[in-house]
Amino acid sequence: MIRKPIITVLGHVDAGKTRILDSVRGTAVAEKEAGGITQHIGATEVPIKIIDSQAGELLKKYKFDLQIPGLLFIDTPGHEAFTTLRKRGGSIADLAVVVVDIHKGLQEQTKEAIEILKSYKTPFILAANKVDTLQGWTLQEGSISESLKIQRPEVIESLETKIYELVGQLHTMGFPSERFDRVTDFTKEVTIIPMSAKMKVGTPELLMFIAGLSQKYLEKKLEVHEKGNCKGTVLEVKEEKGLGKTIDVIIYDGMLSVGEEIAVGGKNGIIKTKIRALLEPKPIGEGSPNEKFNNVKEIHAAAGVKIAAPNLDDALSGSPVRHYSSEAEQEIKDEIQKIKVDSDAIGPIVRSNTLGSLEAILKLLEERGIKVKKADVGEIPRKDVLEIESVAEKDQFKGVIFAFHTKISEPAKVEAKKRNVKIFENDVVYRLLEEYEEWMQGEKDKDKKSKLSNLVMPVKIYVMPNHTFRNSKPAIVGVKVVEGKLKKEIKLMKNGEIIGKVKAIQNEGKEIDEATKGMEVAVSIADAIVEKNLFEKDELYSHIPQKQFSELMTIIDSFTPEEAELIDEIKKMEQQEEVEA
């Protein structure tokens, strides 16, 4: 038996994710006579009749022979819902629709969505939304193929430019792509569908390609056991009036019945409980406004259902749901343990609100070569701050905490402030990692600045002829900075021998702290005596203490190639002087 493919919608904020879902639902609602939609918990079912009536001709054109019973769209758009819908080795979502604003292309969250889909090996279609806002667009509801026939050449040209910008952006992310009617191999190219969800343009193509590609390339994945063991994932844990804590579950294999025992992952271990009720949303206008749900005796994959049962307070979003057995309990335990981390690694502590989002951030940290000390679900407790402090003592950049889509407890905030522990908090994983990288770069720059201020800088100066203003106590001469930076209080040497210390630098009569390459300045040098150890046309160098060379090497990228060469030259000069001494 083949089940309905499970579809998620992802994309950047304001790209039109909810509009896309509304356009699909709107199509289905408008086609009530063709069978209508069924509202599930957390999902919307679009039956095959509606896809046929909307895209029948297109299905024939692209030779898609649909056997699937329909499509199941997850109602909550976005990354979080997608990552929550996890299972061992991937996602329970069979296919994703990535929505982009055709004018803005792949934005930050779009790229993040694509990276997450890539890590879960989930195929996707790109919906290039808002074509109706292209200048001069002539509106015609329905098929985008028909709509393109009535557009003026300059509008088509404008659309093509936008499509090829998308093709280029996808290419840089490692995905070949093409407009839907020019794709030669659907297994190798991402299908781009221009559309306007707001104006109901392109929805037939979207439904047709989702259904057709699911059927053609994912058929094996869609095979289910009609009466077999249930396989599902917790989408959300919710408090319901009169029912207590309930779990919203997407079932992707098998079936569930009232009275059966199930196993669910919890914060403190596996929860074994008996189903008291299976609930579906009441159709709009049916029953009293206070009654939100209908009771059903059983549910078959693929479906979204609310489960009411005892002891669900600690249930975890993203946890597997199975018929209870000791094997199922062990399987869930193993799966949760596989995601959570508790190690001796010198690395950050990571917490998230669901198992799926925890898994997603861990995948991205792994790709960046960051080893994690601890990873778990829930808010940041005080003990995490105490634990990470010892890591920070060994490596300040690894001794940090990531709070992804989760809260920081008040005691943890107080402790972190007291102990100067860095906690990064964000609901967008890429932004979280960007903030971390920006902070790290800032700290490194501060460290370099601090080191630079305490170290003797390399400098080479030339004593200019006819620019002696005073012979001694101190000697004052005019010099040109050939390379590096000349600063006050540094010792100057000639041929490895120290001749004096810079006491002051003047430029055009004004005292300055430093002179840079190319500047001509007056310098007062204590202990130097003109015509004794200091002469016109002399080349003088800063004296760098031997122990400082290794420190300079740790920040060598702060210097220009010429300055780095000068450091090397001074080092050799100092070593030669030591040998001769």
Identify whether residues 360 and 413 lie together within a single domain.
Answer: yes
What is the percent of the chain where pLDDT is above 90? 67
1 found inside a domain: no
Residue 32's pLDDT band, with cuts at 50, 70 and 90, is very low
For residues 195 and 246, state if they share a domain.
Answer: no
Q: What is the CATH number of the domain that holds 145?
A: 3.40.50.300
3-state DSSP assignment of residue 85: coil
Q: What is the pLDDT of residues 562-579, one digit of tens each?
A: 999 999 999 988 887 665
Q: Is 411 annotated as a binding residue?
A: no
**12 belongs to an annotated ligand binding site:** yes
Looking at 180, 205, 222, the residue that finishes a domain is 222
Tell whether 232 is in a known binding site.
no
Same domain, 50 and 188: yes
Q: Is 93 annotated as belonging to a binding site?
A: no
Q: Is 78 annotated as a binding residue?
A: yes
- Phi and psi at 223, nearest 5°, equal -70, 130
C-alpha 215 chain-centroid distance: 31
Tell whether 46 and 159 lie within a shared domain.
yes
Q: Is residue 115 part of a domain?
A: yes
pTM: 0.76
Do 329 and 389 share a structural domain? no
- Whether residues 345 and 332 share a domain: the answer is no
- Rounded to 5°, the CA angle 307-313-316 comes to 75
Q: What is the largest CA-CA distance in the chain?
A: 108
> Domains in the chain: how many in total?
4
Task: Kindly state whether residues 435 and 550 are assigned to the same domain.
Answer: no
What are the two backbone dihedrals, phi and then psi, of residue 351, each rounded to the nearest 5 degrees?
Answer: -135, 145
* pLDDT for position 579: 53
Element (H, E) at 471: none
SS3 for 431? helix
**Domain end: 320, 336, 352, which one?**
336
Residues 233, 237, 240, 246, Cα dihedral to 10°: 50
**310 CB contacts (<8 Å, ≥6 apart)?**
273, 274, 276
**Residue 32 assigned as binding residue:** no
* Shared-domain flag, residues 50 and 198: yes
Q: Is 15 annotated as a binding residue?
A: yes
The verdict on whether residue 130 carries a ligand-binding annotation is yes
Q: What is the DSSP string of 122-188?
A: --EEEEEE-GGGSTTPPP--B-HHHHHHTS-HHHHHHHHHHHHHHHHHHHHTT--EEEGGG-S-TTT
Rounded distance, CA 52 to CA 90, Å? Answer: 30
Residue 110 marked ligand-binding: no
Q: Locate 32 and state its tokens.
A: 């009530």
Instruction: Tell me if 76 is assigned to a ligand binding site.
Output: yes
Average pLDDT, stretch 281-306?
Answer: 81
Flag whether 78 is in a domain: yes
In a domain, 420, yes or no: yes
The mean pLDDT of 456-485, rounded to a whole number, is 95
Whether residue 16 is annotated as binding a ligand: the answer is yes
Q: Please name every residue paired with 194 in a beta bridge, in sequence order, or none if there are none.
A: 128
CA separation for the pair 194, 178 (Å, rounded): 11
Residue 62 lies in a domain: yes
Domain that includes residue 366, residue range: 340-451
Q: Are residues 235 and 157 in the same domain?
A: no
| CATH at residue 499 | 2.40.30.10
Model confidence pLDDT, tens digit, residues 152-171: 999 999 999 999 999 999 99
75 is in an annotated binding site: yes
Question: Which pLDDT belongs to residue 33?
Answer: 38
